[in-house]
Structure 1
Amino acid sequence: MVSVIIVVRNAEKNIIACIDSVLNQFKEGEQWELIIVDGLSVDKTRKIVIDYLKQKNILYRIENNPQKTLASGWNKAIRLAQGEYIVRPDAHAELLEGYIKVGVEYLRKNDAIAAVGGTLITKANSVIGRMIAIVLSNPMGVGRSLFRIGVTKDTYTSTAVYAVYRKSIFNIVGGFNEKLNRNQDIELHQRIVKAGYKFLTSARMKAIYHSRTTFYKFLQQGFWNGYWIIKSNSFHINHLIPLIFVLSLIMSYLIAPFLFYAILLFHLVLGFIAFIWKSKVYSPLELIILESLAISLHLMYGVGSLYGLIRLPF
């Protein structure tokens, strides 16, 4: 049996598309359940979900999440789940055909794998959102985040997006850390790796991710991701590159201003090369926008990490 868990709060715009993508994963008669945990939404999310699921002949339950955090919602759903496998899509995501089936196949074949995830097709509706989506799918924006930039073959990784987990792994390493507001999955996945298990990113599994659609929300997300990666104490060296970038800018500006401009110029040239290498169809204006978004993301992530570093003792 498979348990699909979705934690939501104020997701009225995306939740039905997410649920539909889950429903399309299963054939009639297959054993599965849907658990939705609502963080006391103040929009119409809960009503929309209830009205929609009443029309479907599936096993489902809707629970409340008074803490309103992702980690508390996930942990509650995991405790309630009856399935041998647990799938954890976000409310703003859509799983493409066969996503869950392929993930379960891998887990049944290899006991050393704790979870399997796919790669993201990043989309957005606004003009700036589409530029943000490009940045979040390019190594210049997200480094070696394979589930974002894509893989051409199945690859062992240190994490997995919208993962299909063995439920038993949560009995071994525990659940999500409810003290963290972000990066809870990274911290959990690090514990799983330390316990000797593997993650697989499959080229056969695809999901649609709807990125932020405004510049402000994009920067806000970058800042808090940078902050919580430090607070979680579950980072890899790649996560520290934006922090190193920000510290380099600060030190060079104070000690040797010409180095400050040299570092910015290097980032600019590297960005243009990265975006052109990925796709040669961008106009000069688009390249400027993409590089501006990339450097803004790195600065905000790095500043967030610096703030997290300063706040560590508190």
Structure 2
Amino acid sequence: MVSAVVVTYNSARTVAETLSSLTGQTYPDDRYEVIVVDGGSTDGTEKVAAEYGVRFRVAEGATIGACRNRGVEAASGEYVAFTDSDCAVPATWLESHVERIEGYADREDVVGVGGPNRPFPDDPPFAKLVGSLQGTVFGSGGSPQSHAIDGERLVRSVAACNVCYDADVFSEFRYDDGINVGEDAEFHFRLSEAGYRFVFDPTIAVSHHLSADFGSFCRKSRSYGYAMARVQRRHGKVIRWYSALPSLGLGTGVLAALSDWRARKIRYLPLLLSAFLLASGYATAQVYRDRRTPLALLIPVMLAAQYAYYGVGFLEGTLAPDPVPQELP
């Protein structure tokens, strides 16, 4: 038995394609259930969900982490799968997840299976550009949920929009109710610290509506930076050391430019600029090879914006006065 949980908030425009994909699975109908946990939508999300005969739970004002926990509490399956209300899963999604996780039944350290998320075929060109950028090491920081890994492997974390857990893990661990963005990174960090791992299978991909324009892309990068800083404050240690490196590099470049300007001579800036052009050029070539579009020339600007906004968010999250949440298992 599998419980498929969808966390949503004001997703009336997209939740229908999510639920349509979930209710059309090749997995036996009597062996899975679909549970929608709503954070208090006001746009008719519940009315849309009612058309699909799914179980609907309202968690008014709850964070994403809290909504995921409410889904776990309502689940009756031996496995609990999560996707988001701006995603669509393939018809074989549950079947593939169960087959893969049961293939590791002899590994007590494997608690789940995850895969990548890709833009929808009919998404705007910019969203597809974002998807291709995330498929580069400089666009994703090497994280498996977006970076193009070619083969199945064990990883420390996967994206919560495409994951299936062994339900037994929730008897000891839960998401943090206080986290609204980055809740999966924080939860999986605690699991990895306890020695658990996920199977990442690049063939189990979901379609995901990514940022459709430059403004939303920047805002999302800022929110990720803020979330990661808060998570690291929460644990008092660096969780993803590589995630802040590009932002630090950009900051170093700005400081180098100021230093050169004050000294009235060019010393450090050319070296740092060359490093950025080399990295962004490599990412541009990868994106062009993937998309075959001249829009790939936007990649250097997108990379600079992504890590500038990530850095701003990270700084804000580091300096925010909110108290650190209480310890969780």
The normalised TM-score by structure 1 is: 0.89
Instruction: Say yes or no: does 1:269 pair with 2:293.
Output: no
User: Distance between the aligned counterparts of 1:254 and 1:312, measured in 2?
Assistant: 30
User: Distance between the aligned counterparts of 2:252 and 2:272, measured in 1?
Assistant: 8
Deviations 1:16-70 (A, max 9, x none): 11112212224444311111111221212111111x124xxxxx31111112421
SS of the equivalent of 1:147 reads coil
Q: Which residues of 2 match residues 6-155 of structure 1 at below 5 A?
A: 6-50=6-50, 52-54=51-53, 60-110=54-104, 111-123=108-120, 125-155=123-153
User: Distance between the aligned counterparts of 1:119 and 1:131, measured in 2?
Assistant: 16
User: Distance between the aligned counterparts of 2:148 and 2:258, measured in 1?
Assistant: 39
The match for 1:224 is 223
Runs of 4+ in 1 over 4 A off after TM superposition: none
Q: Is the contact between residue 222 and residue 301 of structure 1 (CA under 8 Å) also seen in structure 2? A: yes
Shift of 1:256: 3.1
Shift of 1:165: 0.3
**2:310 counterpart letter in structure 1:** Y
Shift of 1:89: 0.3
For the structure 1 residues 288 and 67, does the alpha-carbon distance in structure 2 shift closer, same or farther, using more than 3 Å as the test?
Answer: same
SS of the equivalent of 2:112 reads strand
Q: Is the contact between residue 106 and residue 116 of structure 1 (CA under 8 Å) also seen in structure 2? A: yes
User: Distance between the aligned counterparts of 2:299 and 2:312, measured in 1?
Assistant: 20
User: Distance between the aligned counterparts of 2:30 and 2:15, measured in 1?
Assistant: 23
Q: Is the contact between residue 133 and residue 283 of structure 2 (CA under 8 Å) also seen in structure 1? A: no
Shift of 1:282: 4.5
Shift of 1:192: 0.9
User: Distance between the aligned counterparts of 2:260 and 2:154, measured in 1?
Assistant: 42
Shift of 1:128: 2.8
**1:67 counterpart letter in structure 2:** G
The match for 1:304 is 313
User: Distance between the aligned counterparts of 1:201 and 1:28, measured in 2?
Assistant: 24
SS of the equivalent of 1:297 reads helix
The normalised TM-score by structure 2 is: 0.85
Q: Is the contact between residue 115 and residue 160 of structure 1 (CA under 8 Å) also seen in structure 2? A: no
User: Distance between the aligned counterparts of 2:13 and 2:270, measured in 1?
Assistant: 43
Q: Is the contact between residue 159 and residue 199 of structure 1 (CA under 8 Å) also seen in structure 2? A: yes
Shift of 1:143: 2.4
The match for 2:165 is 165
Deviations 1:83-124 (A, max 9, x none): 110001011111123222222223223232111001222246
C-alpha RMSD of the superposition: 2.2
**2:113 counterpart letter in structure 1:** V
SS of the equivalent of 1:87 reads strand
Moved more, 125-134 or 226-235: 125-134
Q: Is the contact between residue 79 and residue 165 of structure 2 (CA under 8 Å) also seen in structure 1? A: yes
Q: Is the contact between residue 156 and residue 199 of structure 1 (CA under 8 Å) also seen in structure 2? A: yes
SS of the equivalent of 1:149 reads coil
Shift of 1:148: 1.1
Q: Is the contact between residue 120 and residue 150 of structure 1 (CA under 8 Å) also seen in structure 2? A: no
The match for 1:5 is 5
Residue identity over aligned pairs, in percent, reads: 19
For these two proteins, the number of residue pairs brought into alignment is 306
Unaligned runs of 5+ in 2: 233-237, 324-329
Unaligned runs of 5+ in 1: 55-59
SS of the equivalent of 1:148 reads coil
Q: Is the contact between residue 152 and residue 201 of structure 2 (CA under 8 Å) also seen in structure 1? A: yes
User: Distance between the aligned counterparts of 1:177 and 1:28, measured in 2?
Assistant: 32
